[in-house]
Chains A and B, each alone.
Chain A
Amino acid sequence: MRRFAVKQALVPLAVFGALAFVPKLTVDIPYVFQSSLDTPGTLQLLALCLVFGGLALTYDLIFGFTGLLSFGHALYFAAGVYVECIALTKWHWGFLPSLAFTALVGILLPLVLGAVSLRVGGIAFAMVTLAFAQAGSILVFKNPHKWTGGEEGLGTDYTKLPAALVGIFNTKNLYWVALAYAAAVFAIVQWAVSSSPGHIWQAIRENELRVEVLGLRPYAYKLMSFVLASFLATAGGVVYLLLLGGATTDVTTANFTLTLLVMVVIGGTGTRWGALLGGVLYTWANQRLGDASGSHAVSSLPSVLRTPLEQPLFVLGVLFILVVFFVPGGLARIGRLRRPRTLQRLQEAMQR
C-alpha cells in the first residue's frame, strides 16, 4: 500500500474541516439558501447534499474507477435505509445492535449478489444488477410480514435513537454525521483507489484482458470493489434514514440509480472530486428548484416557461443532456473538453 502524499491530504482536510464550522455560521447566502447557514432548514439541505455526494462517490467507485456499469446500486442504499428502519421499528432492537446488523447485511448482500452478477460482464452485468434491484423494490412494495410498510413507507421509531440525533434542534448533529460520512467515503475511496487493489481496478477498467494475462483474476478484484462500494452505500442509507426519520419507496427504484448516474456524470466520472461535486450540486438544485417554483420570480414568468421550470427533474434532465453534449468530462474536468477515457473504456466494456 502506498502512503498518502501529505500534500494530497491537505486540500480535503481543509475542505471538510471548513465545512465542520458551518453550523456555527450565522450567514445568509441569498438565492443559494433559503435561510441562514446555521438554521435547521439549511443544515438539513446541506446534510442531504453531503449524503448524496458520498453516495454518488460510492457509485463512481464501481462505475468510474472500476469500469462496471451497474443499474442496481440503489439496492444497497435502500438496504441500509430499510434494514436499519425495520430493525429499530419492527424488531425493536437497540441502536447499536441494529447498526451492527445493518453493517453485516451491507457486507453479505453485495458479496452474494455481486458474486452472482459479476459472472457476466458488459450489458449483461448491467441488466442483472437492474434485475436484482427491481426484485428488491418489488419485495419492499409487497410488504412481507408488514415490515416495510409497502407503498406508504415506514417511519422510524425515534425512541430507539440516541437523543442527540433526534429532533429539529439536533439537526446540526445530523449535519456533522452526514459530513463525517462524506469525508469518510472520500478518504476510503481515495485510499482504496491508490492502493494496489485500486490500481488493479483501474487496470481492469482500462483493459481487462491484460489483467488476466498478468495472471490476476479480475473477478476477485471486481467483487472487492463492488462489496466496498455497496457497503459504503448501505452506510449512506443509514445516515439518510436518520436525516429523514423514515424509509420511503423512492430509494428502491431503478430511477434512483439513474439519478446517481446523472450525478456522477455531471460532476465528472473517475475524478477525485467529481462525483462528490455532482451529488452535492444535484441535490441542492433539486431542492432549490423545487423551492424556486413557488417564488415570485418564477411565478411571474409566462406559463410556457414557468410550467416546465416548476419541475426540478425537467431542469436537471435538460442540464444533464447539455453536460453530456458539451462537457462529457463533467464539471470536474471543465478545462479539458475532450471525451474522458473513462467513457471510452466503458463503451468498450459494454461491447464485450
Chain B
Amino acid sequence: MSTFVLLSITGLGLGAMYFLIASGLSLIYGLMGVLNFAHGAFLTVGAYAMWFTESKLGGVPLLPRFLLGAIAGLAVGGVFAALVELFLIRPLYRRHIEQVLVTVGLALATVALVTAIWGNDARTVAAPGWLGRTTTVVGAHIPNDRWVEIVTALVVLLALNAFLRRTRYGLIIRAGVENRSMVTALGIDVRRAFTLVFALGGIAAAIAGVLSNVYFGTIDPQRGTSLLIFAFIVVVIGGLGSLRGTAASAVVVGLVQQYANYYASSGLGDLSVVLLLGIVLLARPRGLSGSFA
C-alpha cells in the first residue's frame, strides 16, 4: 500500500512536470500551428540559468539562493522564448513547415551551445535540505520535492486558466485556438498573442526545468530533449490546444509510467506510455479532447 502511495505521488510529480512543458506546447500548437521542437531548449536554458545563478551566489544562504536561482531560471526562459518568437518565428509568418524546421535547428544549436559552455556532465543543483527529505504519508516516505512539483503545477494550471478566462489576451488566445483567421478579421493583431503565448510557454517550460533540477538533483544538456518526448506524447493524447486535456493526460501519463515501471518491469513504463500514444492516435486521430489542427 505504501509503495502504491509512493508511486502515485511520484507519478503525479512527474505528471506535474510533463504538464508544465506540455501546456506551452499545446497552446503554441493550438494557436499558431507550430510544433515547437525548441520547447525542450527553453526548459534546458531555464534550468541552466538557475544553476548558473546559484553558482554565482556562493556566499548567500541556501533558501534565498535557491529562490533567486529559480526566479532567474523563469525569467531567462521566458525572455529566451519571446526572443525566439520575435526573431525566428514571426518572420516566417504562415510558413508553418519552415517554422517547425527552425525550431528543430534551434533545438540542436541550443543543446550544442550549452554543451560547449558547460560540458556534457551533469552539474549538481543546490536545493534547500527540506526538499531532499521525506514526509511520511500512510506509511509511505514521500520525498518532499514531489509536493512542490504538484502544488506548482496546480498553481500554474489555475493561473493559466484564470488568464485565459479573465483577460482580453486570454480571450484572444482562446478564440485564436479555434479560428485564427476570424480573429484577424475582427481587427486584432494576433501576432502579439503569438509572442505572448511563446513567452508564457517558455516560462512554464523553465518552471519545469527548475523543478526537474530539484527532482533529479542535477542538470545536464540532454534534460530538455529527454523530457520533451513525453511532453509531446502528453499533448497529443490530451488534444492539441486544450489546457484541460493536457492536464488530464499529464496525470495519466505520469501515473501509467510509474505503475508500469514498477509493477511490470523497469523500462516498460516508458514503453507503455509510448504505446498509449499510438493506441490513442489510431483510435481517435484527434486526441482525447478532439481539438487537432
Q: Do A347 and B111 have beta carbons less than 8 Å apart?
A: no
At the interface, yes or no: B37 with Cβ under 8 Å from chain A? yes
Give the residue of B96, B98, B112 whose beta carbon is less than 8 angstroms from that of A308. Answer: B112
Q: Do A120 and B236 have beta carbons less than 8 Å apart?
A: no
Q: Do A128 and B278 have beta carbons less than 8 Å apart?
A: yes
Give the residue of B88, B275, B281 whose beta carbon is less than 8 angstroms from that of A135. Answer: B275
A138 to B277, CA, bound (A): 15
Give the residue of B37, B98, B271 whose beta carbon is less than 8 angstroms from that of A258. Answer: B37
Q: Do A321 and B229 have beta carbons less than 8 Å apart?
A: no
A280 to B23, CA, bound (A): 38
At the interface, yes or no: B270 with Cβ under 8 Å from chain A? yes
Q: Do A134 and B229 have beta carbons less than 8 Å apart?
A: yes
Interface size band for A: 35 or more
Q: Do B115 and A311 have beta carbons less than 8 Å apart?
A: yes
A255 to B111, CA, bound (A): 11
Which one of B1-9, B99-107, B161-169 contacts A? B99-107
Take A127-B277, A346-B97 as given contacts and tell me if A316 and B108 are in contact as well, using a CB distance cutoff of 8 Å. yes
Q: Do B281 and A320 have beta carbons less than 8 Å apart?
A: no
At the interface, yes or no: B233 with Cβ under 8 Å from chain A? yes
- B154 to chain A minimum Cβ distance, whole angstroms, is 27
Q: Do B116 and A308 have beta carbons less than 8 Å apart?
A: yes
Q: Which residue of A lies closest to B265 (CB)?
A: A142
Q: Which residue of A lies closest to B271 (CB)?
A: A138
A142 to B269, CA, bound (A): 11
At the interface, yes or no: B217 with Cβ under 8 Å from chain A? no
For chain A, what secondary structure do more than half of its interface residues adopt (helix, strand, loop), or is it mixed?
helix
Q: Do A258 and B95 have beta carbons less than 8 Å apart?
A: no
Give the residue of A314, A324, A351 whose beta carbon is less than 8 angstroms from that of B33. Answer: A351
Interface string of B193-222 (1 = CB under 8 A from A): 000000000000000000000000000000
- A338 to chain B minimum Cβ distance, whole angstroms, is 12
A128 to B274, CA, bound (A): 9
Give the residue of A119, A120, A258 whose beta carbon is less than 8 angstroms from that of B108. Answer: A258
- B89 to chain A minimum Cβ distance, whole angstroms, is 11
Q: Do B274 and A135 have beta carbons less than 8 Å apart?
A: yes
At the interface, yes or no: A123 with Cβ under 8 Å from chain B? yes
Q: Do A318 and B109 have beta carbons less than 8 Å apart?
A: yes
Take A135-B274, A138-B270 as given contacts and tell me if A320 and B293 are in contact as well, using a CB distance cutoff of 8 Å. no
Q: Which residue of B lies closest to A126 (CB)?
A: B35
Take A123-B292, A124-B285, A325-B102 as given contacts and tell me if A313 and B278 are in contact as well, using a CB distance cutoff of 8 Å. no
Q: Do A254 and B105 have beta carbons less than 8 Å apart?
A: no
Q: Do B33 and A138 have beta carbons less than 8 Å apart?
A: no
Q: Do A317 and B108 have beta carbons less than 8 Å apart?
A: yes
Q: Do A120 and B105 have beta carbons less than 8 Å apart?
A: no
CB interface residues, A 125-140, toward B, < 8 Å:
127-128, 130-132, 134-135, 138-139
Q: Do B101 and A320 have beta carbons less than 8 Å apart?
A: yes
Q: Do B292 and A124 have beta carbons less than 8 Å apart?
A: yes
Q: Do A122 and B293 have beta carbons less than 8 Å apart?
A: yes
At the interface, yes or no: B129 with Cβ under 8 Å from chain A? no
Contact partners of B236 in chain A: CB under 8 A: 123-124, 127
A130 to B281, CA, bound (A): 12
Take A261-B101, A350-B97 as given contacts and tell me if A116 and B282 are in contact as well, using a CB distance cutoff of 8 Å. yes
Q: A134-B270, A350-B97 are in contact. List 6 more A-B contacts (CB 8 A).
A: A119-B282, A124-B281, A127-B281, A128-B281, A308-B113, A324-B102
Between A and B, 14 residue pairs with Cβ closer than 8 Å are A127-B281, A128-B278, A134-B274, A138-B274, A258-B108, A262-B105, A311-B115, A313-B112, A314-B108, A320-B109, A321-B105, A324-B102, A324-B105, A343-B95
The 8 tightest CB contacts between A and B, nearest first, are: A317-B109, A314-B112, A317-B108, A320-B105, A313-B112, A311-B112, A142-B267, A321-B105
